[in-house]
Amino acid sequence: MQHKHLVRKASGVSEPFSQRKLESSLRKAGASEENISIIVKDIIGWIHEGVTTQKIYARAFQLLRKLRGGTAARYKLKKAIMELGPTGFPFEHFVGELMKAEGYSVKTGQLMQGICVQHEVDVVATNSSTQCLMECKYHNSPDKISNVQVPLYIRSRMNDIIDRIKNNPELKGLNFEGWVVTNTRFSEDAISYGLCSGLKMMSWDFPANNALKDRIEKHHLFPVTSLTRLSVKQKQLLMEAGIVLCRQIQDNQHEIAKLGLTPTKRKRLMEEVRDLSL
Protein backbone atom coordinates (compact mmCIF):
# COMPACT_ATOMS: atom_id res chain seq x y z
CA MET A 1 0.00 0.00 0.00
CA GLN A 2 1.33 3.45 -0.93
CA HIS A 3 0.86 6.49 1.29
CA LYS A 4 1.04 10.17 0.40
CA HIS A 5 4.10 10.83 2.55
CA LEU A 6 7.43 10.94 0.75
CA VAL A 7 10.33 9.34 2.60
CA ARG A 8 14.04 9.83 1.93
CA LYS A 9 16.30 6.84 1.23
CA ALA A 10 20.00 6.62 2.18
CA SER A 11 20.87 7.63 -1.41
CA GLY A 12 18.96 10.89 -0.96
CA VAL A 13 16.20 9.86 -3.37
CA SER A 14 12.62 10.40 -2.17
CA GLU A 15 9.82 7.93 -2.75
CA PRO A 16 6.31 7.30 -1.36
CA PHE A 17 6.27 5.36 1.88
CA SER A 18 5.38 1.72 1.19
CA GLN A 19 3.46 -0.15 3.87
CA ARG A 20 3.93 -3.32 1.84
CA LYS A 21 7.76 -3.03 1.99
CA LEU A 22 7.67 -2.46 5.74
CA GLU A 23 5.39 -5.46 6.27
CA SER A 24 7.60 -7.60 4.02
CA SER A 25 10.80 -6.71 5.89
CA LEU A 26 9.18 -7.47 9.25
CA ARG A 27 7.77 -10.75 7.95
CA LYS A 28 11.21 -11.83 6.64
CA ALA A 29 12.58 -11.11 10.10
CA GLY A 30 10.14 -13.65 11.53
CA ALA A 31 7.72 -11.20 13.16
CA SER A 32 4.24 -12.54 13.78
CA GLU A 33 1.31 -11.08 11.86
CA GLU A 34 0.01 -9.67 15.14
CA ASN A 35 3.27 -7.84 15.83
CA ILE A 36 3.50 -6.65 12.22
CA SER A 37 0.05 -5.12 12.55
CA ILE A 38 1.00 -3.36 15.81
CA ILE A 39 4.23 -1.92 14.36
CA VAL A 40 2.72 -0.82 11.04
CA LYS A 41 -0.15 0.93 12.83
CA ASP A 42 2.35 2.83 14.97
CA ILE A 43 4.53 3.82 12.00
CA ILE A 44 1.57 5.04 9.94
CA GLY A 45 0.37 7.19 12.82
CA TRP A 46 3.86 8.65 13.37
CA ILE A 47 5.30 9.05 9.87
CA HIS A 48 5.78 12.55 8.47
CA GLU A 49 6.87 14.15 5.21
CA GLY A 50 10.58 13.82 4.42
CA VAL A 51 11.44 11.41 7.23
CA THR A 52 14.36 9.16 6.36
CA THR A 53 14.01 5.43 5.88
CA GLN A 54 16.73 5.05 8.54
CA LYS A 55 14.47 6.73 11.12
CA ILE A 56 11.51 4.58 10.09
CA TYR A 57 13.70 1.51 10.43
CA ALA A 58 15.01 2.63 13.83
CA ARG A 59 11.50 3.16 15.19
CA ALA A 60 10.25 -0.17 13.82
CA PHE A 61 13.28 -1.90 15.33
CA GLN A 62 12.69 -0.41 18.77
CA LEU A 63 9.07 -1.53 18.69
CA LEU A 64 10.06 -4.99 17.52
CA ARG A 65 12.67 -5.25 20.24
CA LYS A 66 10.02 -4.63 22.88
CA LEU A 67 7.78 -7.27 21.34
CA ARG A 68 10.44 -9.94 20.69
CA GLY A 69 14.19 -9.57 20.94
CA GLY A 70 15.28 -12.36 18.58
CA THR A 71 13.07 -11.11 15.79
CA ALA A 72 14.39 -7.59 16.29
CA ALA A 73 17.93 -8.89 15.87
CA ARG A 74 16.98 -10.42 12.53
CA TYR A 75 15.31 -7.19 11.43
CA LYS A 76 18.51 -5.20 11.98
CA LEU A 77 20.71 -7.70 10.12
CA LYS A 78 21.95 -5.30 7.41
CA LYS A 79 22.91 -2.71 9.99
CA ALA A 80 24.49 -5.40 12.15
CA ILE A 81 26.83 -6.43 9.32
CA MET A 82 27.94 -2.81 9.00
CA GLU A 83 28.61 -2.71 12.74
CA LEU A 84 31.25 -5.45 12.38
CA GLY A 85 33.81 -2.63 11.91
CA PRO A 86 35.54 -0.29 12.34
CA THR A 87 38.08 -2.46 10.49
CA GLY A 88 37.29 -5.12 7.90
CA PHE A 89 38.92 -7.86 10.00
CA PRO A 90 35.70 -9.18 11.66
CA PHE A 91 33.93 -9.16 8.28
CA GLU A 92 36.66 -11.34 6.79
CA HIS A 93 36.18 -13.84 9.62
CA PHE A 94 32.42 -13.66 9.15
CA VAL A 95 32.77 -14.52 5.43
CA GLY A 96 35.10 -17.36 6.43
CA GLU A 97 32.47 -18.77 8.80
CA LEU A 98 29.90 -18.52 6.01
CA MET A 99 32.10 -20.60 3.72
CA LYS A 100 32.67 -23.16 6.50
CA ALA A 101 28.89 -23.55 6.73
CA GLU A 102 28.88 -24.36 3.01
CA GLY A 103 31.37 -27.20 3.39
CA TYR A 104 34.72 -25.50 2.85
CA SER A 105 37.85 -25.61 4.97
CA VAL A 106 38.90 -22.02 5.56
CA LYS A 107 42.01 -19.96 6.25
CA THR A 108 42.00 -16.18 6.66
CA GLY A 109 44.66 -13.53 6.12
CA GLN A 110 46.90 -15.70 3.95
CA LEU A 111 50.03 -14.49 2.13
CA MET A 112 50.20 -16.10 -1.31
CA GLN A 113 52.93 -15.76 -3.89
CA GLY A 114 51.90 -14.90 -7.42
CA ILE A 115 53.91 -15.03 -10.64
CA CYS A 116 54.90 -11.39 -10.16
CA VAL A 117 54.43 -10.39 -6.51
CA GLN A 118 53.15 -11.64 -3.15
CA HIS A 119 49.52 -10.93 -2.20
CA GLU A 120 47.49 -11.07 0.99
CA VAL A 121 44.24 -12.98 0.49
CA ASP A 122 41.46 -12.33 3.00
CA VAL A 123 39.81 -15.76 2.79
CA VAL A 124 41.03 -19.00 1.19
CA ALA A 125 38.18 -21.53 1.11
CA THR A 126 38.81 -25.05 -0.20
CA ASN A 127 36.63 -28.10 -0.75
CA SER A 128 37.22 -31.33 -2.66
CA SER A 129 36.95 -29.66 -6.07
CA THR A 130 37.48 -25.90 -5.73
CA GLN A 131 39.69 -23.35 -4.03
CA CYS A 132 38.18 -19.89 -3.64
CA LEU A 133 40.51 -16.90 -3.23
CA MET A 134 38.34 -14.22 -1.67
CA GLU A 135 38.80 -10.47 -1.23
CA CYS A 136 36.40 -8.87 1.27
CA LYS A 137 35.32 -5.24 0.86
CA TYR A 138 33.77 -4.00 4.07
CA HIS A 139 31.88 -0.69 4.35
CA ASN A 140 30.21 0.85 7.39
CA SER A 141 27.77 2.95 5.35
CA PRO A 142 25.02 1.71 2.98
CA ASP A 143 25.78 4.38 0.37
CA LYS A 144 29.29 3.02 -0.28
CA ILE A 145 29.20 1.15 -3.60
CA SER A 146 32.05 -0.89 -5.09
CA ASN A 147 32.58 0.41 -8.62
CA VAL A 148 34.21 -1.30 -11.60
CA GLN A 149 37.73 -0.45 -10.38
CA VAL A 150 37.31 -2.97 -7.54
CA PRO A 151 36.79 -6.13 -9.65
CA LEU A 152 39.35 -4.90 -12.20
CA TYR A 153 42.00 -4.71 -9.48
CA ILE A 154 40.99 -7.96 -7.79
CA ARG A 155 40.81 -9.91 -11.05
CA SER A 156 44.42 -8.98 -11.87
CA ARG A 157 45.60 -10.00 -8.36
CA MET A 158 43.77 -13.32 -8.48
CA ASN A 159 45.10 -14.08 -11.96
CA ASP A 160 48.66 -13.52 -10.71
CA ILE A 161 48.13 -16.01 -7.88
CA ILE A 162 46.20 -18.59 -9.90
CA ASP A 163 48.79 -18.59 -12.71
CA ARG A 164 51.32 -19.75 -10.12
CA ILE A 165 49.36 -22.20 -7.95
CA LYS A 166 47.60 -24.01 -10.82
CA ASN A 167 50.85 -25.91 -11.44
CA ASN A 168 51.31 -26.85 -7.78
CA PRO A 169 51.20 -30.68 -7.61
CA GLU A 170 49.66 -30.50 -4.10
CA LEU A 171 46.67 -28.69 -5.58
CA LYS A 172 46.29 -30.91 -8.63
CA GLY A 173 42.67 -31.47 -9.64
CA LEU A 174 41.33 -28.29 -8.04
CA ASN A 175 39.55 -25.52 -9.86
CA PHE A 176 40.48 -22.00 -8.77
CA GLU A 177 38.06 -19.10 -8.38
CA GLY A 178 38.69 -15.46 -7.63
CA TRP A 179 36.02 -13.83 -5.47
CA VAL A 180 35.08 -10.39 -4.21
CA VAL A 181 32.55 -10.07 -1.37
CA THR A 182 31.07 -6.82 -0.08
CA ASN A 183 28.45 -6.06 2.55
CA THR A 184 26.94 -3.25 0.46
CA ARG A 185 26.48 -3.20 -3.33
CA PHE A 186 28.31 -3.34 -6.66
CA SER A 187 27.77 -0.86 -9.47
CA GLU A 188 26.23 -2.20 -12.69
CA ASP A 189 29.59 -1.90 -14.47
CA ALA A 190 31.29 -3.83 -11.68
CA ILE A 191 28.77 -6.66 -12.00
CA SER A 192 29.08 -6.69 -15.79
CA TYR A 193 32.87 -6.91 -15.63
CA GLY A 194 32.78 -9.58 -12.93
CA LEU A 195 30.39 -11.77 -14.92
CA CYS A 196 32.38 -11.28 -18.12
CA SER A 197 35.79 -11.99 -16.55
CA GLY A 198 34.70 -14.99 -14.48
CA LEU A 199 35.20 -13.28 -11.13
CA LYS A 200 32.74 -14.57 -8.52
CA MET A 201 30.87 -11.72 -6.83
CA MET A 202 28.68 -11.54 -3.75
CA SER A 203 27.10 -8.45 -2.21
CA TRP A 204 24.25 -7.79 0.17
CA ASP A 205 21.69 -8.46 -2.58
CA PHE A 206 23.69 -10.08 -5.44
CA PRO A 207 23.39 -12.62 -6.95
CA ALA A 208 19.62 -12.95 -6.71
CA ASN A 209 18.50 -15.62 -4.22
CA ASN A 210 22.09 -16.45 -3.28
CA ALA A 211 23.33 -13.11 -2.01
CA LEU A 212 25.01 -12.42 1.32
CA LYS A 213 21.69 -11.84 3.09
CA ASP A 214 20.24 -15.08 1.65
CA ARG A 215 23.19 -17.18 2.78
CA ILE A 216 23.13 -15.69 6.28
CA GLU A 217 19.44 -16.53 6.65
CA LYS A 218 19.91 -20.00 5.15
CA HIS A 219 22.65 -20.98 7.60
CA HIS A 220 21.41 -18.88 10.57
CA LEU A 221 24.83 -17.22 10.79
CA PHE A 222 23.88 -14.02 12.56
CA PRO A 223 26.75 -11.76 13.68
CA VAL A 224 27.15 -10.87 17.35
CA THR A 225 26.35 -7.27 16.37
CA SER A 226 22.75 -8.46 15.78
CA LEU A 227 22.26 -8.95 19.51
CA THR A 228 20.06 -6.44 21.30
CA ARG A 229 21.08 -7.49 24.83
CA LEU A 230 24.70 -6.31 24.64
CA SER A 231 26.29 -2.87 24.47
CA VAL A 232 28.54 -1.78 21.61
CA LYS A 233 31.57 -2.16 23.88
CA GLN A 234 30.56 -5.69 24.91
CA LYS A 235 30.11 -6.75 21.29
CA GLN A 236 33.51 -5.28 20.44
CA LEU A 237 35.11 -7.31 23.24
CA LEU A 238 33.61 -10.49 21.79
CA MET A 239 34.87 -9.69 18.29
CA GLU A 240 38.36 -8.97 19.65
CA ALA A 241 38.23 -12.47 21.16
CA GLY A 242 37.46 -13.91 17.71
CA ILE A 243 33.73 -14.40 18.31
CA VAL A 244 31.83 -13.01 15.30
CA LEU A 245 28.77 -15.31 15.27
CA CYS A 246 25.94 -15.56 17.77
CA ARG A 247 26.19 -19.36 17.71
CA GLN A 248 29.84 -19.17 18.81
CA ILE A 249 28.71 -17.66 22.10
CA GLN A 250 27.26 -20.93 23.32
CA ASP A 251 30.70 -22.58 23.11
CA ASN A 252 32.56 -19.63 24.63
CA GLN A 253 30.88 -19.09 27.97
CA HIS A 254 34.23 -18.05 29.51
CA GLU A 255 34.23 -14.97 27.24
CA ILE A 256 30.66 -14.14 28.24
CA ALA A 257 31.71 -14.30 31.88
CA LYS A 258 34.16 -11.46 31.18
CA LEU A 259 31.34 -9.10 30.12
CA GLY A 260 30.08 -8.58 33.68
CA LEU A 261 26.45 -9.42 32.99
CA THR A 262 24.01 -9.98 35.83
CA PRO A 263 22.44 -13.47 35.96
CA THR A 264 19.17 -12.03 34.58
CA LYS A 265 20.88 -10.23 31.68
CA ARG A 266 22.96 -13.31 30.89
CA LYS A 267 19.83 -15.46 30.80
CA ARG A 268 18.11 -13.02 28.41
CA LEU A 269 21.20 -12.92 26.24
CA MET A 270 21.29 -16.70 25.92
CA GLU A 271 17.58 -16.79 25.08
CA GLU A 272 18.23 -14.35 22.22
CA VAL A 273 21.26 -16.36 21.06
CA ARG A 274 19.18 -19.55 20.96
CA ASP A 275 16.41 -17.77 19.05
CA LEU A 276 18.89 -16.63 16.40
CA SER A 277 20.44 -20.09 16.11
CA LEU A 278 17.17 -21.87 15.25
Q: Lay out the sheet containing 175-182: strands in order across.
A: 105-113, 118-126, 130-137, 175-182, 200-202
Whether 1 has a pLDDT exceeding 70, the answer reads: no
Share of residues in the chain with pLDDT > 90 (%) = 71
What single letter denotes the amino acid at residue 116?
Answer: C
Instruction: Report the pLDDT value the prediction gives residue 3, as an integer from 0 to 100.
Output: 57
Instruction: Report the pLDDT value the prediction gives residue 44, as an integer from 0 to 100.
Output: 93
DSSP assignment of 180-203: EEESSEE-HHHHHHHHHHT-EEE-
Dump pLDDT digits (tens) for 250-267. Answer: 889 999 999 999 999 999
Most confident of 8-22, 60-74, 226-240: 226-240
Whether 231 has a pLDDT exceeding 90, the answer reads: yes
C-alpha 185/C-alpha 139 separation (Å) is 10
Residue 278 pLDDT grade (very low, low, confident, very high; cuts 50, 70, 90): low
- Mean pLDDT for 150-176 is 96
- Mean pLDDT for 124-139 is 97
